[in-house]
Amino acid sequence: MGIFGWGKKQDEPDAGGPRDADLPTLSADQARELGRMVRNQLADRGTEALVDRGTLRLADGRQLGLHNLAVQASGLPYAEWPALVGRHLDLLMGHWQREREGNDQADPERVLAKLRIVADLPEEARREDAPQPLPGVVALLAEDRPEIVVEFFDPGRVDVPDPWALARRNLRALPLPEHRIVGDEPGGDVHVFLSEDFFGASRLLVLPDLLARVGAHLPQAGALVAVPNRHLLLVHLLVGAPVVQALNWMVGVAAQEYPESPGPVSPHVYHLTPQLHAQQVTAQGPDGGTVVEVRDQFEAAFRLLGLLGDGPAD
């Protein structure tokens, strides 16, 4: 036993308590402990920060989401958390140091794109010229380095005439994700694309090319898509009545995969036209469940399929 508490071992947080609202893979007690551990290790490195709703807010205005770290911590014994946090911060602070030295220009061969919820980004990262492939979801230029994926809020960090064309070209060149088709009824299939890399959801930016690689294409009524996390892309091609069963399945998968996996993107399902215009079709209801909204372009797709009584029946 340490004198006057010196050397006192930190009590292990209670893993069996209520889930944390912002880091649901951890209990509220575990989430508080993870935040404390990150703050203390940052302070040891000379950086002050506060924890606010699952996000670490640094004194210089930068924000560090803790979701991915929480997912990793949830699968490890508590005794291994300090080393996990240390490795995580070492990578981040090495990147920040290169930024300060002005030695962080992107390698064009490694430039890709990541999808992020707009509301999760700091104000300085919310650029009007950034692509928004889905409502509330923005694409950020990113470099896939061996030790870390670096996001670039400023496209000028990628020294080419058209960085977004470069990112899409590199996305097309990635290996085909694991692909399987789920569904029991003709026309009710859902294409599941699962990637080991961090750019599974990002392949939404080149969806027609991705579908062509598995012998499919966007039909006249469009498609339903979901991107619960960075590794997963779900696509249902709208060709008939089984859309309801497919939609329900996608809603269930998105609701499960969004909070429980690293790199969350969106818990919602969206409708895409063949021109890739997007509309969110699910929302959280008053009881916390998911409701489906058939309106605007999604309603037009239903009418095109003859599902609302006054469109083509075939």
DSSP summary character for residue 8: P
Query: Cβ–Cβ contacts within 10 Å for residue 127, how many?
Result: 13
Q: Express each pLDDT in 102-149 by its tens digit.
A: 555 678 899 999 998 887 776 666 677 788 999 999 999 988 877 677
184 pLDDT above the threshold of 50: yes
When pLDDT is cut at 50, 70 and 90, the band that residue 291 belongs to is very high
Beta strands in the chain (DSSP E): 49-52, 55-58, 63-65, 111-117, 137-144, 149-152, 178-182, 190-194, 223-226, 232-237, 269-272, 278-280, 282-284, 290-292
Q: How do residues 1-21 score in pLDDT, each as one tens digit?
A: 343 334 434 678 888 888 888
Q: Spell out the long-range contacts of 34-37 with Cβ–Cβ below 8 A and sequence spacing 24 or more.
A: 34/66, 34/69, 34/70, 34/73, 34/81, 34/85, 35/66, 37/81, 37/82, 37/85
Mean pLDDT of 184-205: 91
> What residue ranges do the domains of the chain occupy?
3-100, 108-173, 178-304
Residue-level pLDDT at 14: 87
**Mean pLDDT score, 268-292:** 94
Give 106-137 as a DSSP string. --GGGEEEEEEEGGGS-GGG--TTS--SBTTE
Q: Which two tokens stand for residue 122?
A: 């700091």
The whole-number pLDDT of residue 152 equals: 78
Percent of the chain, pLDDT > 90? 47
Distance between start and end Cα atoms, the chain:
78
Query: What band does 263 get if pLDDT is binned at 50, 70 and 90?
Result: confident
Residue 63 per-residue DSSP state: E
Residue 221 has pLDDT above 80, yes or no: yes
> Is residue 157 pLDDT above 90, yes or no?
no
**Confidence check: pLDDT of 172 > 70:** yes
How far, in Å, CA of 312 to CA of 314, rounded? 6
Could you tell me which residue, 287 or 155, shows the higher pLDDT? 287
CA atoms within 13 A on the CB side of 162: 6
